[in-house]
Structure 1
Amino acid sequence: MSQSRILVTGGSGRLGQMVLDQLLHAGVSGIITTTRTPDKLGAYASLGVDLRHADLNDPQTLSKAFQGADRLLLISTDDLFSGRRVQQHTNAIDAAKRAGVRHIHYTSMPEPEASTAIPFSSDHVATEATIRESDLSYTILRVAWYAENPVELGLIPAALRTGTWLTSAGAGRIAYVTRSDVARAAAAALVRDKETSQIYDITGPHAMSAAELAAALSRSVDRPIEVRQVDDTALARELVASGVSPQLAPMLVTTDANTRAGNFERVSHAVQELTGVPPTSFESFLVKNKARLLGATDK
């Protein structure tokens, strides 16, 4: 196992904590994590993780926070619509160079150049370019949409309430991947000795159409679910009418538009290649979370 010191940004986020858990489970020592809220991670300090305050909006906090790290996982921030995200990432990359980091890992998205339907795809294009121009070696993890997204954004709860999976994706397919599989892949990449630059597509095992997704949901909860194809405008309106938050519905609409364009259909074996274990299928994810799904629907 590599003796390099690993730094994970965004350690208080869901993915960040999962990556820390994977690294600790693998017996990695000397882990550093940065966050704006170190007090939330006291349990990790007791396990030997070096907690450091850092704010990607404030470059002055980063040079000290990144000191001593050899390999950096830059988890893309969730500041999707402020216009500050690229600068946040650039601040981290610049600080990594100043601190002597040798290798940067970054969580990007599938086909960022082509995915113009996604409003923040350009953030990933710009960040990947900055990393390539940094003269540091890098690993780009182009992460497929989380399997949790249709649950957390309200699509699946709405489908269970109404019996209808609303979509404008047409025949497009999407290779959902679980957040835990992304964490496993990221942690495995971090502990590799290789420091050659490379790009991995981090996907689930299958790309599925809306009809296949709805059928998987139907089987997993033993309820009939039909698919209704509509256009993007109708999708936005009908999702809200079915109970999806007006703030979240646009994300589902742009996801379907990008799926329809074929930009989410890529399937790779990277998760298994990196970890030795295949990724979880979307249907297995649904079955495992059946109680949660039905509980969210009944609220």
Structure 2
Amino acid sequence: MAILLTGGTGKTSTHLAKLLQDANIPFLLTSRKGQAGAPSGMEAVKFDWDDASTYEAPFQHKFPNGETIKAVYLIGPQSHNASPLMISFVGIAIKHGVKRVVMLTGSETERNGGIHSGSVWQHLEDSGVEYCVLRATWFMENLTQWQHLGSIKNEGKIYSACGDGKVPFVSVADIAAVAFYALTVEKLPSTDYRVLGPELLTHDQLAEKLSKGLGRKIENVKLTKEESAERWSEVNHAPEPLAQFMAKLESLTADKREERTNSVVEKVTGRPPMTFDAFVQENKSVWG
């Protein structure tokens, strides 16, 4: 059995690929650049969510020992209209013999409703395929790799419309570990896991912990939803629909929609999830 990882060069897929590699489990990454976009020592195939003609390509890949893809790690595109594309691809995957799909989505996703990929979740349920939906909260790595890196490093500031909402920030390493279990366990009852970190933190508390860990003042700047959408567009160069979507997620956080904890990571992996203090110590050099 081989495993296909969509979002192959993204945060969670690269961690997951290393876990599969260490376990000697065959896998294939997807990338818009094909093999040129793959980490050293890993195979990838050209795949573009905006080009349906590439959806068949992963299933035409020749594995060294004749394995075929039986499981898919599914991460949709950063688009406000991702669900139809994902549903189309899932249909193709099942046609090619895929028996299990593990989908990463946001913590507020509900089957056939809410935001994110609810209709994809419902499609997985209706298709009869084994599935697991990983409903993850905000990533710690957003502070080192995405919207907050430049402002922390160059301005000593975090900008968001999350207000005083508390978040159980989670590391992508912990998400990847839960995904590894869901993809490789012998029998997977179709289910969902909310993948959360170990502590509830406001963005003010993040700034305090960063200040302590980095030895310099980090300030949290509270934006309105409209100001956040503008920043997403102008500073992070997000397309307008994505900018509005991300600002909406932040406003939901301000409304305390992320204020929850659980023990999923520890129950599944046998170890507690990473704390934010530990994350800061591991990544101090990234912020300079």
Instruction: Give TM-score scaled by structure 1 length.
Output: 0.77
Alignment match of 1:201 (pick from 191, 194, 197): 194
| Residue of 254, 270, 288 corresponding to 1:276 | 270
Q: Assess, with a 3 A threshold, how the Cα gap between structure 1 residues 86 and 209 changes in structure 2: closer, same or farther.
A: same
Aligned position for 1:92: 89
Determine the C-alpha separation between the residues in 1 that align with 2:280 and 2:266.
20
C-alpha change, 1:290 and 1:112, in structure 2 (3 Å) is: same
- Which of 119, 123, 129 aligns to 1:126? It is 119
1:24 aligns with 2:18: no
1:242-257 → structure 2 map (5 Å cutoff): 245=235, 247=237, 253-257=247-251
Give, in whole Å, the separation in 1 of the partners of 2:206 and 2:236. Answer: 23
Structure 2 residue aligned with 1:62, among 37, 43, 55?
A: 55
The correspondence for 2:109, drawn from 98, 109, 112, is 112
Amino acid at match of 2:29: T
2: distance between equivalents of 1:5 and 1:88?
23
Count of residue pairs brought into register by the alignment: 274
> What aligned pairs does 1:1-299 form with structure 2 within 5 A after superposition?
4-28=1-25, 30-40=26-36, 41=38, 43-45=40-42, 51-63=44-56, 65-66=58-59, 68-78=68-78, 80-81=79-80, 83=81, 85-113=82-110, 122-155=115-148, 157-158=150-151, 165-227=158-220, 229=222, 231-233=224-226, 245=235, 247=237, 253-294=247-288
Deviation at 1:253?
3.8
SS in 2 for 1:104: strand
Return closer, same or farther for 1:94/1:57 CA change in 2, 3 Å cut-off. Answer: farther
- Rate the CA distance shift 1:252–1:285 in 2: closer, same or farther, 3 A: farther
Unaligned runs of 5+ in 2: 61-67
Unpaired segments ≥5 residues, structure 1: 295-299
Q: Which runs of 4+ in 1 moved over 6 A?
A: none
Q: How far apart are the structure 1 equivalents of 2:152 and 2:72? A: 39
Deviations 1:26-54 (A, max 9, x none): 232x3233434332237335xxx5x4444
What SS does structure 2 have at the residue aligned with 1:88?
A: helix
Following superposition, the deviation at residue 268 of structure 1 comes to 2.6
Identity between Structure 1 and Structure 2 (%):
23
Output the CA distance in 2 between the equivalents of 1:54 and 1:22. Answer: 22
Range with bigger deviation, 211-220 or 224-233: 224-233
Give per-residue Cα distances to partners, 1:33-82, cap 9 Å, x unaligned. Answer: 3434332237335xxx5x4444444555434633622221112223x24x
1-side partners of 2:258 and 2:182: how far apart?
A: 22
In 2, the alpha carbon distance for the partners of 1:261 and 1:113 equals: 18
The 1:206–1:136 alpha-carbon spacing in structure 2 relative to 1, beyond 3 Å, is same
35 and 211 in structure 1: CA distance in 2 versus 1, 3 angstrom threshold:
closer
Are the structure 2 counterparts of residues 154 and 38 from structure 1 closer, same or farther at C-alpha, using a change threshold of 3 Å?
Answer: closer
Alignment partners' CA distance in 2, 1:217 and 1:251? 27
Shift of residue 164, structure 1, vs aligned partner: 5.3
Q: Spell out, residue by residue over 1:80-134, the C-alpha distance to the aligned partner (whole angstroms, 9 max, x if none).
A: 24x3x223211221012211211111111101259x9xxxx74412221222221
Deviations 1:248-277 (A, max 9, x none): 676764343121122222323222222223
Letter in 2 for 1:190: L
